[in-house]
Amino acid sequence: MTIRLFITGGTFDKTYDEISGRLLFGDTHAHEMLRLGRCRLEVSVRTLMMIDSLEMSDADRRLILENCRGAAEERIVVTHGTDTMVETARVLGEAGLPKTVVLTGAMVPYAFGSSDGLFNLGSALSFVQTLPHGVYVAMNGHCFAWDDVAKNRAAGVFEKLR
Amino acid sequence: MTIRLFITGGTFDKTYDEISGRLLFGDTHAHEMLRLGRCRLEVSVRTLMMIDSLEMSDADRRLILENCRGAAEERIVVTHGTDTMVETARVLGEAGLPKTVVLTGAMVPYAFGSSDGLFNLGSALSFVQTLPHGVYVAMNGHCFAWDDVAKNRAAGVFEKLR
Amino acid sequence: MTIRLFITGGTFDKTYDEISGRLLFGDTHAHEMLRLGRCRLEVSVRTLMMIDSLEMSDADRRLILENCRGAAEERIVVTHGTDTMVETARVLGEAGLPKTVVLTGAMVPYAFGSSDGLFNLGSALSFVQTLPHGVYVAMNGHCFAWDDVAKNRAAGVFEKLR
Amino acid sequence: MTIRLFITGGTFDKTYDEISGRLLFGDTHAHEMLRLGRCRLEVSVRTLMMIDSLEMSDADRRLILENCRGAAEERIVVTHGTDTMVETARVLGEAGLPKTVVLTGAMVPYAFGSSDGLFNLGSALSFVQTLPHGVYVAMNGHCFAWDDVAKNRAAGVFEKLR
């Protein structure tokens, strides 16, 4: 069983640019993280975009949806910025694909020593293997159904709606 | 739902002792790892022993079994050295407890920058929430049934038997 | 011999704020870095300000100068943002204090795994012990006299003028 | 000015071997550390041996001495295990070479997150540029003359004799 890993950017993949002194996007850290986790799953990585999720447009979300729909794999993990992860989950969830799709991300860039990214990636790759078809958000140990989750921005955590 | 996390030692928790220049056990890194993963699950940590799994005795395994049996929680993660993880899984598996127990560990100590520990912990805490009652080994993205796994020591990886 | 360590902020001490997703200042990492380096020197740390060096005013520089002048110690290290480190070095250098003052910083925040901060701190604390009175900029192994250094912003490196 | 960096092994360069679960030597981490420190000095690295300093023989020490003597560079840093660093320093010191030689190492392997190695390397590369001819031990911020230093093994620190 191959798992598809779509990269869209977000905090997860931000790096510090030494010249400008700002957080920018370079290549994804996904390969390095899979290597660090000594991940033995067959994971097929593809970068769809590399953007801050606050800048994600409807067209971007349709692109993610079409890639999930068109993928040969039935099990898909999508890395995503946390700010609008729930919105993208809704677009994917309402499409009702016969697949298991898990969105994940990080509160702190992977390139920071203190990142939750590796924990979340290990978690998302596990949930995606065991959950029934549907769309989920996996963050910080929890896995939420796409229609029962919100980001509490003040606290910086994901919560159930109900 | 609270998850019980039993610590038994293993590579996962080894640290470098500056005075002796050797790898020894101190306190578990589990709390620090849960904090790093910003884990929002209720996890109740208890250290049962802090040993190299090559030195684990039958009595040690019975102690782990009795703790799994006696725990109030139905979902349990056990950190364990990789060398005899499969043996302990068998002892737990044959007992047929009405619980989901996931053993995990690390190929490289968490205290090393290059450890797979955080990935595996995120993974184990996810599998334990979704899998039916039974005993499993979760390493490097895969989850094996207790009676269908072996450690390939030459390659340093876990594999299915069949 | 006690060495005085004045903290003024800069890239060196920036941290990632999980809520806003931006690089901000919290407490200095100097104590943690000295601990990591197992530094056995007597170092007396004092935070003068915690700002981006692009926002450093003439009044801020006078404050740094007055603190260098007033310090009981003859050997002083100042952490500083790289963008205007040379300007502050000039203010200190022109004052002609009978002290050895070494400015240092980092191209990447210490909190990032890939930071040069620890290397630079070890370097600055060594130069300050051995150089004659004067004001210096210590970055990435080199030590420049205050009147013979410029930051090449395009390349992100410090260079001699002549 | 080029600085010669001789590698001899020691804690500094130990790595965790996943298969055997032991600390072994692979390639030196010196190149990676110089890159991390964004070191802009011309440093010419050469590995002379890769051993635990407890296993260093008289012949090994003569080899280090002959390499220091024969090097084109006048400024030399030697990485070395801490247990017998002082002994090697004595062999080099008694030879009275017209060069500045600084021995350094680490209390914790560089590959561990908690290593003092990067701090010490930054420090040694700075002392070697500024100190007069002679042989020195640079550890944890201090720089000792070769004939006035001992390792306090119980405390895991280097101290002056007098």
3-state secondary structure B35-100: HHCCCCCEEEEEEEEEECHHHCCHHHHHHHHHHHHHCCCCEEEEECCCCCHHHHHHHHHHHCCCCE
Give B8-37 pLDDT, tens digit per residue.
Answer: 999 999 999 999 999 999 999 999 999 999
Give C56-71 pLDDT, tens digit per residue.
Answer: 999 999 999 999 999 9
Q: Which residue has the tokens 């997703």?
A: C21
Asked if D78 contacts D127 with a C-beta cutoff of 8 angstroms, the reply is: no
Contact flag B140-A40 (C-beta cutoff 8 Å): yes
In chain A, the N- to C-terminal Cα span, in Å, equals 34
- The answer to whether ipTM exceeds 0.90 is yes
pLDDT at position B33, please? 97
Report the residue of B5, B36, B38, B127 to disrupt the A interface, i.e. the one with the largest count of A CBs within 10 Å.
B38
Residue B27 DSSP symbol: S
pLDDT at position B123, please? 98
HSE-up (13 A, CA, CB side) for residue A118 = 30
Nearest to C112 among A11, A112, A155 (CB): A112
pLDDT at position D17, please? 92
Name chain A contacts of C19, Cβ cutoff 8 Å: 153-156
Residue D99 DSSP symbol: S
Q: Determine which of C19-28, C36-45, D124-133 has the lowest per-residue pLDDT on average.
A: C19-28
Structure tokens at D31: 């190149």
pLDDT at position D162, please? 84
Name chain D contacts of C37, Cβ cutoff 8 Å: 116, 119-120, 140-141
- In this prediction, the residues of chain A whose per-residue pLDDT falls under 50 are none
pTM of the model as a whole: 0.95
The CA R_g of chain C, rounded to the nearest whole Å, is 15
- Above 90 in pLDDT, residue D108? yes
- Above 90 in pLDDT, residue D28? yes
Spell out which chain C residues touch chain D, with contact meaning CB-CB distance below 8 angstroms. Answer: 33, 36-41, 43, 107, 114-116, 118-127, 129-131, 138-143, 157-158
pLDDT at position D126, please? 98
Q: Rounded to an integer, what distance in angstroms lies between the CA atom of residue D21 and that of residue D19?
A: 6
pLDDT at position C112, please? 87
Give D47-91 pLDDT, tens digit per residue.
Answer: 999 999 999 999 999 999 999 999 999 999 999 999 999 999 999
- Above 90 in pLDDT, residue C46? yes
User: Interface partners of C (3+ CB pairs, < 8 Å)?
Assistant: A, D
Q: Rounded to an integer, what distance in angstroms lies between the CA atom of residue A55 and that of residue A83?
A: 10
pLDDT at position A73, please? 98
pLDDT at position A162, please? 84
Q: Rounded to an integer, what distance in angstroms lies between the CA atom of residue C87 and that of residue B12?
A: 48
pLDDT at position A113, please? 83
- Above 90 in pLDDT, residue D152? yes
CA D118 to mean position of chain CA atoms: 12
- Above 90 in pLDDT, residue C1? no
Q: Rounded to an integer, what distance in angstroms lies between the CA atom of residue A107 and that of residue D84?
A: 45
Q: Average model confidence (pLDDT) for chain B?
A: 96
Asked if A87 contacts A65 with a C-beta cutoff of 8 angstroms, the reply is: no
Burial state string for A23-57 with b = 16 or more CB within 10 A and e = fewer than 16: bebeebbbeebbebbbbebebeeebbebbbbeebe
Report the residue of C104, C123, C143 to disrupt the D interface, i.e. the one with the largest count of D CBs within 10 Å.
C123
- In this prediction, the residues of chain B whose per-residue pLDDT falls under 50 are none
Q: Rounded to an integer, what distance in angstroms lies between the CA atom of residue A5 and that of residue D57?
A: 53
